[in-house]
C-alpha cells in the first residue's frame, strides 16, 4: 500500500503587485494556519519523511512554518514540477516516484491538488482550502500504476478544524 499526503500552501498575500505569482509570500493568516495545521498532522502519526514542495515562495514558506511549528526539522526537496496547477502534471510526477518511498507528501497548489484528490479517491474532497491536508491510502505497490479511484481518503485537516 502507498500513502500520499497533499498539503495545499497556506493563504498568500496579494499586497505586492510587482511580484510574480511564484514570488508571492504568505500573509499573516497563512502563517498562523501553518502553526495550527503542522501539529495536527503530526498527531495523526505522520512523521514528514519524504516531503516534496513546489518552488513557489508560498509553498516553501508553508512547509518551513509547519516544520517550525513541530519544533522538529523537516527536510524537504524542492520540485519545480510541483509548481503546477494541473492535476495531470502532478499525476505524471507521482508516476515517476521511486517505489521504495511508500509514503510521500507533496506541497502545492490548487486547482491541481483538489483535482488530484478527486481523481484518485473513492470519496473525493470537494475543495481543498488553503493550508489543508489530505492523507490517502492507495491500493498498489508502484507509483507508476496509480490510477483513478485507487485511493481512500483516511485523513483531512483544515485550519478551521484546528482552531
Within a domain: 81? yes
Give the pLDDT confidence of 103-157 residue by residue, as tens digits: 999 999 999 999 999 999 977 788 999 999 999 999 899 999 999 999 999 999 9
If you ran DSSP here, which 8-state letter would residue 16 be given?
A: -
Non-local CB neighbours of 20 within 8 Å, separated by 6+ positions: none
Instruction: Report the CATH number that the domain containing residue 95 is assigned in CATH.
Output: 3.40.50.1240
pTM of the model: 0.95
In the chain, how many domains are there? 1
Is 16 contained in some domain? no
Give the Cα-Cα-Cα angle 64, 54, 149 (nearest 5 degrees). 110
* Domain housing 43: 2-11+21-162
Amino acid at each position: 500500500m502507498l500513502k500520499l499526503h497533499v498539503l495545499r500552501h497556506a493563504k498568500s498575500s496579494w499586497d505586492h503587485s510587482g511580484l510574480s505569482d511564484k514570488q508571492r509570500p504568505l500573509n499573516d493568516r497563512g502563517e498562523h494556519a501553518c502553526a495550527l495545521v503542522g501539529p495536527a498532522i503530526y498527531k495523526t502519526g505522520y512523521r514528514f519523511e519524504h516531503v516534496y514542495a513546489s518552488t513557489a515562495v508560498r509553498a516553501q514558506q508553508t512547509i518551513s512554518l509547519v516544520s517550525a511549528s513541530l519544533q522538529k526539522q523537516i527536510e524537504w526537496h524542492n520540485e519545480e514540477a510541483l509548481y503546477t496547477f494541473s492535476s495531470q502534471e502532478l499525476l505524471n510526477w507521482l508516476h515517476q516516484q521511486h517505489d521504495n518511498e511508500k509514503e510521500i507528501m507533496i506541497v502545492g497548489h490548487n486547482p491541481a491538488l483538489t483535482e488530484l484528490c478527486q481523481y484518485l479517491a473513492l470519496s473525493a474532497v470537494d475543495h481543498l482550502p488553503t493550508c489543508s491536508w489530505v492523507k490517502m491510502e492507495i491500493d498498489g505497490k508502484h507509483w507508476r500504476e496509480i490510477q483513478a479511484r485507487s485511493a481512500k481518503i483516511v485523513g483531512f485537516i483544515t485550519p478551521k478544524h484546528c482552531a
